[in-house]
């Protein structure tokens, strides 16, 4: 029996190897095992494990994640070929568990297949939610929440105080996103500890981010998903029901009190003269085209905006502050730029960000070293195509290892060194496909502009108002977490005190 098994495995490996050569498929690590494929090679964090495999076997690889063909790309030229020449071919998403239970059965903006439905969702998000005009209309929300954070930090004794920054950034970002979505805030000032709605929301968000960032072996070994291995799908289904009830209650709340004219709808203003949030805008559109703007589409856009906006901004701000604490000379240089360009008579506004190119360099360098999604959201080929001269079959899942591209010495000098100066003169550009933290092509992240505004405003304000330093003499621990999103394994603790030149302004906020 054992001999038969050994012969079967050997024959499978040999046949698989010959087929790849005959079909001109990309190279693969040897061997490809039956059933599990190359899953035996992977360790956490996955982006680093895949980077090591690519370093050994090449920048274009065909892997087997259990039953799935996976094209792994780790070079700028191959990424460019995927997202330009073959952009439409790779405009679909694979069917993964997250897409079913977080993507409304593959119908949300993030997970819908390429076609009319997805194009309509993208149009809604680009024009009605994330356009520059819309973001500018709601800039007061971001300023309000930044001021709230600054006030809370300044309430303590003016001696060196210690603060856990991950929570600060997490709550800041969630308040901004929920005010944009539903006109509500659930953390910080004026939010009572006994507020039941806030408590439910906090529980839903934490669980959604935790389960949404979990890897699921059942996506690649269907039998394990069928038997409920790990219980992830059951937990996602329970969470989905709880989240749906909460979000639908918000939709119904605004439906019940909306009395908006067509003219007011165009100006994003409600009957009380307040700027309208996402739910109000979508309900206004629902009146004219109910078949497009269903309640489910409203809830799905709410969730996409909430998850994408929170994960990207929170992680980037925490990594940036950690890097600055480990490099106080760079922190000082950023403060000098702010002092020279903005001064101490007002808090940084979004309009001021254009005057702070070095701050933009710091953000770009942080995104290079620690992209929020080290592996870009997976794509799937809708037909056969060629990448790097290799044949790529239809139905192949595409993984672009952004972390590997952005930390490759072939693309960047001293890639693991924090050097914002490398972006001087190129603050608003992406340098081809060597820097792809938000993806590229049709399925790139539509919230890039919002994230850059949010991160720039928050970092700039904290650098402007306070002196920052590490809690101890030791360098801040930069160990990465093991999830699919790139977070710090240990939350950042920092010491701070008001800058003498800012004390007067801080007392007036």
Q: How far apart are CA 136 and CA 365, in angstroms?
A: 25
Question: How many other CB atoms are there within 10 angstroms of residue 52's CB atom?
Answer: 12
Angle subtended by helix axes 232-257 and 196-212, to nearest 10: 140
Residue 30 backbone class (left: φ over 0; alpha: ψ -120 to 50; beta: rest): beta
Q: How far apart are CA 272 and CA 266, in angstroms?
A: 15
Omega within 30 of 0 (cis) for the link into 48: no
Give percent helix, percent strand, percent coil of the chain, each to the nearest 5.
Answer: 55, 10, 35
In sequence order, the 6+-apart residues with CB closer than 8 A to the CB of 6 are: none
Question: How many other CB atoms are there within 10 angstroms of residue 84's CB atom?
Answer: 11
- Side-chain-side CA neighbours of 107 within 13 Å: the count stands at 11
Helix (H) or strand (E) run with residue 351 in it: none
What backbone torsions phi and psi does residue 333 show, to the nearest 5 degrees?
-60, -40
Give the start-end residues of each E strand in 106-213.
Answer: 161-164
Paired with 63 in beta bridges are 70
CA-wise closest residue to 16 among 86, 55, 64, 79: 64
What backbone torsions phi and psi does residue 2 show, to the nearest 5 degrees?
-65, -40
Angle in degrees, CA 481, 431, 488, rounded to 5: 10
Contact assessment for residue 365 and residue 418, using Cβ atoms and an 8 Å cutoff: yes
Contact assessment for residue 465 and residue 346, using Cβ atoms and an 8 Å cutoff: no
Please tell me what DSSP assigns to residue 266.
H
Q: Cα 441 from chain centroid?
A: 16
**CA distance to 288, 325, 450, per residue, from 274 (Å):** 22, 40, 21
445 is in an annotated binding site: yes
- The annotated binding site for heme is made up of 445
- The annotated binding site is made up of 445
């Amino acid at each position: 029996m054992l001999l038969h098994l050994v012969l079967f495995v050997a024959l499978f490996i040999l046949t698989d190897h010959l087929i790849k050569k005959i079909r001109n498929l990309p190279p693969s690590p040897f061997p490809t095992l039956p059933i599990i494929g190359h899953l035996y090679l992977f360790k956490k964090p996955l982006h680093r494990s895949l980077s090591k495999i690519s370093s050994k076997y090449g920048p274009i690889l065909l892997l087997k994640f259990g039953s799935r063909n996976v094209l792994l790309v780790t070079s700028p030229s191959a990424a460019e070929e995927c997202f330009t020449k073959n952009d439409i071919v790779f405009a679909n998403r694979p069917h993964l568990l997250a897409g079913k239970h977080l993507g409304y059965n593959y119908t949300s903006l993030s997970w819908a297949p390429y076609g009319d439905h997805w194009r309509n969702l993208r149009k809604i998000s680009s024009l009605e939610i994330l356009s520059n005009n819309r973001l500018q209309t709601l800039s007061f929300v971001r300023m309000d929440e930044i001021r709230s954070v600054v006030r809370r930090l300044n309430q303590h004794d003016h001696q060196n105080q210690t603060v856990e920054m991950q929570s600060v950034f997490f709550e800041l970002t969630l308040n901004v996103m929920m005010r944009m979505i539903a006109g509500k805030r659930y953390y910080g000032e004026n939010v009572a500890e006994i507020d039941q709605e806030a408590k439910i929301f906090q529980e839903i968000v934490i669980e959604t981010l935790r389960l949404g960032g979990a890897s699921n072996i059942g996506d690649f070994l269907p039998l394990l998903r069928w038997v409920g291995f790990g219980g992830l799908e059951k937990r996602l289904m329970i969470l989905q029901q709880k989240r749906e009830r909460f979000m639908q209650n918000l939709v119904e709340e605004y439906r019940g009190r909306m009395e908006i004219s067509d003219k007011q709808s165009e100006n994003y203003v409600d009957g009380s003269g307040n700027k309208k949030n996402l739910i109000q805008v979508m309900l206004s559109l629902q009146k004219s085209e109910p078949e497009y703007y269903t309640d489910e589409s409203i809830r799905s856009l709410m969730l996409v905006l909430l998850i994408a906006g929170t994960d990207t901004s929170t992680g980037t701000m925490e990594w940036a502050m950690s890097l600055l604490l480990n490099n106080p000379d760079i922190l000082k240089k950023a403060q000098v730029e702010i002092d020279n360009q903005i001064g101490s008579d007002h808090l940084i506004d979004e309009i001021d960000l254009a005057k702070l190119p070095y701050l933009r360099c710091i953000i770009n360098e942080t995104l290079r070293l620690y992209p929020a999604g080290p592996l870009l959201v997976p794509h799937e080929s809708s037909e056969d195509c060629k990448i790097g001269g290799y044949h790529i079959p239809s139905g192949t899942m595409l993984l672009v290892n952004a972390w590997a591209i952005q930390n490759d010495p072939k693309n960047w000098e001293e890639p693991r060194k924090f050097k914002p100066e490398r972006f001087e003169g190129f603050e608003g550009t992406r340098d081809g496909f060597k820097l792809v933290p938000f993806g590229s092509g049709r399925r790139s992240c539509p919230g890039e502009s919002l994230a850059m505004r949010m991160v720039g405003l928050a970092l700039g304000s904290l650098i402007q108002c306070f002196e920052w330093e590490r809690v101890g003499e030791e360098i801040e621990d930069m160990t990465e977490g093991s999830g699919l999103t790139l977070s710090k394994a240990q939350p950042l603790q920092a010491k701070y005190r008001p800058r003498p030149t800012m004390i007067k302004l801080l007392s007036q906020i």
